[in-house]
Amino acid sequence: MDLKCRIKTALALRKRVELVPGPVPAAVLIPLFLKNGAYHILFTKRTENLSHHRGQVSFPGGVRQPEDRDSLRTALRETWEEVGIYPEDVDILGVLDEFLSIYNYLVTPYVGMVAAGHQLRINPAEIERIIEVPLSFLLRPDIFQIEEWNWQGHTYPLFFFHYEGDKIWGLTAAILKQFLAIISAEAEKHHLEIHPALKGEDSKG
């Protein structure tokens, strides 16, 4: 069984955490793809003229619109609008827990495998550039960092992943951490060194 099938099986077997409805519904896609025979994840560097998350590294995604029949449709539509990946070119492998952002968005993250050889088309109004990170790199312990963050009288762990001068943090890092925790058992089978904090899902950040 290849890694794609293992990820799909692992996501299907786990019990998801769904939060209470109320915040603004939104969705993102974690786009997996093969490059030079290795699995990568696609991230976007957002432009500086956006109202939220300006200049941050994010997954493709956004707010659910009235015409979206469900959150999956939101994730696929936003991915198409931001980076030009056709919905039919994405094989959905599963869905992670729901996450609540500090901006009162209830975010549903989907994991999808993008068809090989897809040509990206960046929306310059929203996206500055694309960042392609090898999955094996994200499992390295030396690029992962945790800081304590105070928000509205409470202290939370804030996660960071560092890649070639870019910093993945905040909600994107929390989502990424959960995804990496789910597949870390597969990485351990291949003797990759993993930060201990990535081996469990008890903290989302």
Q: What percent of the chain has pLDDT over 90?
A: 65
* Residue 180, phi then psi, degrees to nearest 5: -65, -35
- Return the beta strands (E) in the chain as ranges: 24-35, 38-46, 57-58, 61-63, 90-95, 99-100, 105-114, 127-134, 144-151, 154-163, 166-169
Nearest to 32 by CA among 134, 119, 158: 134
pLDDT at res. 115: 92
Over residues 20-47, the pLDDT tens digits come to 888 899 999 999 999 999 999 999 999 9
- What is the per-residue pLDDT for 17? 86
- pLDDT at residue 201 in the model: 46
Predicted confidence at residue 203, as pLDDT, reads 34
User: What's the pLDDT at 102?
Assistant: 84
Q: What is the pLDDT of residue 204?
A: 37
Token pair of 67, please? 């015409």
- Collapsing DSSP states into helix, strand and coil, what is residue 20? coil
Cβ atoms within 10 A of the Cβ of 168, count? Answer: 25
Q: Which domains are present in the chain?
A: 3-139 (3.90.79.10)
Contact of 79 with 90, CB cutoff 8 Å: yes
- What pLDDT score was predicted for residue 186? 60
Instruction: Enumerate residue ranges in the chain where pLDDT < 70.
Output: 1, 50-53, 185-205
